[in-house]
A and B are shown apart, each in its own frame.
Chain A
Amino acid sequence: MEILRTEKLEKTYQDNGLPVHAIKGIDLGIGKGEFLVIAGPSGSGKTTLLNLLGALDKPTNGKVFFENEDLTQKDKNGLSSLRLHKLGFIFQAYNLIPVLSAIENIEFSMMLLGIPESERENKALSLMEELGIKDLAHKRPNEMSGGQQQRVAVARAIVNNPTVVLADEPTANLDSVTAGHLLDLMEQMNKDKNITFIFSSHDKQVMDRAKRLLILKDGIIEKS
């Protein structure tokens, strides 16, 4: 069953007044529980495609369907709600909230869902234990290493049990050993919780773990 689907998806940017066709009519279907990597050289459009799939960006033409619902028809609040309930994001630069501790960063998206404080704390601590970062609970992002921050980011992305996690170059700033551990973790989450993972990456280690690999070149799928 496809949870994400695109139809003739196009995205064109304006760069100094000149159109840049980042995505050129992509038709794609992604099933539940996939561990998909979108790879390709720099400028191939993989991050743009990931952002379109995650409803962070709007297509110039074409449609994105999430669970058969057309995302291009949703308003800002509708998209926020979708991201809160169904999607999780992991960024290359971790992007944790610097003034919140690790546990508070994880609890934050639960707070947005209106989950009571005690329940939030228990759930966050339990997940942190599962990811081996419980002892970082009260540390702020600037007190943690890159790998530790990315693990907290993973915890934040999956804490609300999303259907899909979108990860943009999640290992780009990590050494290979740390990146390996992080991928192990995400593979485990994919296996245990049946969460769909969609990566944008040109890291060989990530591509090697892919259950499905898409090679993007100049805004079109070269190999699937």
Chain B
Amino acid sequence: MLIKLAWRNIWRNRRRSLIVLTSVVVGLVAIVISDGLSNGMIGQMLFNQINLNISHIQIHKKGFNNNKTVKNFISDYKKVDEVLKDDSSIKSYSKRVFITGILSSANNSSGVNIYGIDPEQEAKVSIIKNSMIEGSYLTKNKRDIIIGKKLAEKLEVEVGDKVVAMANTLKGNIGSEVFRVVGIFKTASSEFDKTAIYIPAGTEQNMLNIGDKYYEYAIITKDYGKVDETQKYLEAKLGNSFEVLSYKDLLPMLIYQIELYKETMWILNVIIGLALIFGIINSMLMSVFERIREFGVLMSIGMKNSRIYLMIVTEAFIIGIVGTIVGIVVGLLLEIPLAHTGIDLSFFSSGLEAFGIGTVIYPVLSIGNIIMSSIFMPFVAILGALYPAYKAIKLEPIYAIYYV
């Protein structure tokens, strides 16, 4: 009966209750949408970085990641091949020759990261093949090169134009090769498009005079959630002369950014919650002041203060629960279609591409966050009712009964 009374009390001033309810719903929709967008952005940032060039795990010669010189190649790459072939948790891997150098056209030149790859292997670990917007992906032709759109614009080259790549060789000379641009790619990261170029691995090995050696193994595991396990297994198998790094080691800033995003979401939730608390306090106080005489009657018939307190808190809790249910339903109805179509933020494209996100954000629903919000809002509503309920039970029965 107490719940029935609380429910009816809510609806005695329909307009006021609807306003409070709407504020809870809007708050919750804002949380669900912003949370989905945030998850989507974080997911896309990570997905893009992993699938562009980072992969889940990379193997180098010990010390290569901090000192990417031509001398730091993997001597015993056959051992790595054997270990990787025996590991059932690995889906695919690509061997890369990697060095920094300069790419020049007839018009300009630019510092670049030169990736020497086996086109077929690389297509299994990165999305570069699917990111081609002009021309074609690398073939077996040893003079082929693919470059990013931003770099093509800087060098003022098109598909079919010639470019020259230069880098330090193992002997300390400057090695160079002439290439013909066969394709131009565009990824979600403008920074990557400005600096990455791909050529056949054999050509780069010749240019650097390193024989058949490689610098980097890029590995994709079957289960993204078990990367740490695979990393530990490979470290144990390969020994101390190799460094086995997961994407978390390779992208420390991004991982920090993701953590920061999560913290920011909590701060946003708290801000929304605080705004709602004051709305609920105001509404519940008005409701209490309108019913002073009624509280007097309830006290006179023997209702204890604890029950009056509970009744007022229950009213706010019901508003919180109803608002949460409606808010989550509305939030999901808005978010589910957006999760498929995405939200086109091309207006901010330069900023987003600099972060490696892409211009279309696909919100991602997080069941955990929805559950947290489902607890958060009723909790906020209860907090908002504590002071008004305290005011109600502080009334003296005689004052309340004859209150006009």
Q: What is A's interface to B at a CB cutoff of 8 Å?
A: 51, 54, 56-57, 76-77, 80-85, 87, 89, 91, 95, 97-100, 104, 107-109, 111-112, 117, 156
- Nearest-Cβ distance from residue B69 to partner chain A, whole angstroms: 81
Contact assessment for A112 and B301 in the assembled complex, using a CB-CB cutoff below 8 Å: yes
Contact assessment for B1 and A80 in the assembled complex, using a CB-CB cutoff below 8 Å: no
Bound form: Cα–Cα A76–B298 in Å: 13
- Nearest-Cβ distance from residue A100 to partner chain B, whole angstroms: 7
Given A77-B304, A80-B304, A95–B293 Cβ distance below 8 Å? yes
- Nearest-Cβ distance from residue B311 to partner chain A, whole angstroms: 11
Given A97-B294, A100-B8, A108–B398 Cβ distance below 8 Å? no
Judge whether B196 is part of the interface by a CB distance below 8 angstroms. Answer: no
Q: Which residues of A contact B1 (CB under 8 A)?
A: 104, 107-108, 111, 117
CB < 8 Å neighbour of B301 from A76, A77, A99, A109:
A109
- Nearest-Cβ distance from residue A165 to partner chain B, whole angstroms: 12
- B1-18 CB contacts (< 8 Å) to partner A: 1-2, 4-5, 8-9, 12
Per-residue contact bits, chain B 70-109, to A (CB 8 Å; 1 contact, 0 not): 0000000000000000000000000000000000000000
Q: Which residues of B contact A89 (CB under 8 A)?
A: 300-301
Given A97-B5, A108-B1, A56–B398 Cβ distance below 8 Å? yes
Judge whether B111 is part of the interface by a CB distance below 8 angstroms. Answer: no
- Nearest-Cβ distance from residue B6 to partner chain A, whole angstroms: 10
Contact assessment for A84 and B302 in the assembled complex, using a CB-CB cutoff below 8 Å: yes
Q: What are 11 A-B pairs with beta-carbon distances under 8 A?
A: A54-B300, A56-B300, A80-B303, A83-B302, A84-B303, A95-B293, A97-B5, A99-B5, A104-B4, A112-B304, A117-B1
Judge whether B222 is part of the interface by a CB distance below 8 angstroms. Answer: no
Q: Which 10 A-B pairs have the closest CB atoms?
A: A84-B302, A99-B8, A83-B302, A57-B398, A95-B297, A111-B1, A80-B304, A89-B300, A56-B397, A109-B301
Given A51-B398, A56-B397, A57-B398, A83–B8 Cβ distance below 8 Å? no
Q: Which residues of B contact A109 (CB under 8 A)?
A: 301-302
Judge whether B401 is part of the interface by a CB distance below 8 angstroms. Answer: yes
Given A56-B397, A91-B401, A99-B9, A108–B304 Cβ distance below 8 Å? no
Bound form: Cα–Cα A111–B4 in Å: 12
Judge whether B382 is part of the interface by a CB distance below 8 angstroms. Answer: no
- Nearest-Cβ distance from residue A97 to partner chain B, whole angstroms: 6
Question: Beyond the given A80-B305, A89-B300, A95-B297, could you list 8 further A-B residue pairs with CB under 8 A, ordered by the A residue number?
Answer: A56-B299, A80-B299, A80-B303, A83-B300, A84-B303, A97-B5, A100-B8, A108-B5
Contact assessment for A76 and B293 in the assembled complex, using a CB-CB cutoff below 8 Å: no
Bound form: Cα–Cα A199–B299 in Å: 20
Judge whether B307 is part of the interface by a CB distance below 8 angstroms. Answer: yes
- Nearest-Cβ distance from residue A1 to partner chain B, whole angstroms: 24
Given A91-B401, A109-B302, A97–B307 Cβ distance below 8 Å? no
Q: Which residues of A contact B301 (CB under 8 A)?
A: 83-84, 89, 108-109, 112, 156
CB < 8 Å neighbour of B302 from A51, A85, A91, A104:
A85
- Nearest-Cβ distance from residue A21 to partner chain B, whole angstroms: 17
A57's nearest neighbour on chain B, judged by CB, is B398
Bound form: Cα–Cα A81–B303 in Å: 8
B1's nearest neighbour on chain A, judged by CB, is A111
Bound form: Cα–Cα A57–B4 in Å: 30
Q: Which residues of A contact B300 (CB under 8 A)?
A: 54, 56, 83, 89
Given A98-B12, A99-B12, A100-B5, A77–B305 Cβ distance below 8 Å? yes
Q: Which residues of B contact A104 (CB under 8 A)?
A: 1, 4
- B279-296 CB contacts (< 8 Å) to partner A: 293-294, 296
Q: Which residues of A contact B307 (CB under 8 A)?
A: 112
Contact assessment for B302 and A97 in the assembled complex, using a CB-CB cutoff below 8 Å: no
Bound form: Cα–Cα A112–B311 in Å: 12
- Nearest-Cβ distance from residue B292 to partner chain A, whole angstroms: 12
Q: Which residues of A contact B305 (CB under 8 A)?
A: 76-77, 80
B308's nearest neighbour on chain A, judged by CB, is A80
- Nearest-Cβ distance from residue A50 to partner chain B, whole angstroms: 11
Contact assessment for B303 and A95 in the assembled complex, using a CB-CB cutoff below 8 Å: no
CB < 8 Å neighbour of B297 from A97, A99, A111:
A97
Bound form: Cα–Cα A87–B305 in Å: 17
Bound form: Cα–Cα A109–B301 in Å: 7
B7's nearest neighbour on chain A, judged by CB, is A99
B294's nearest neighbour on chain A, judged by CB, is A97
Q: Which residues of A contact B299 (CB under 8 A)?
A: 56, 80, 83
Q: Which residues of B contact A57 (CB under 8 A)?
A: 397-398
B297's nearest neighbour on chain A, judged by CB, is A95
Q: Which residues of B contact A83 (CB under 8 A)?
A: 299-302
Q: Which residues of B contact A100 (CB under 8 A)?
A: 5, 8
Bound form: Cα–Cα A107–B398 in Å: 23
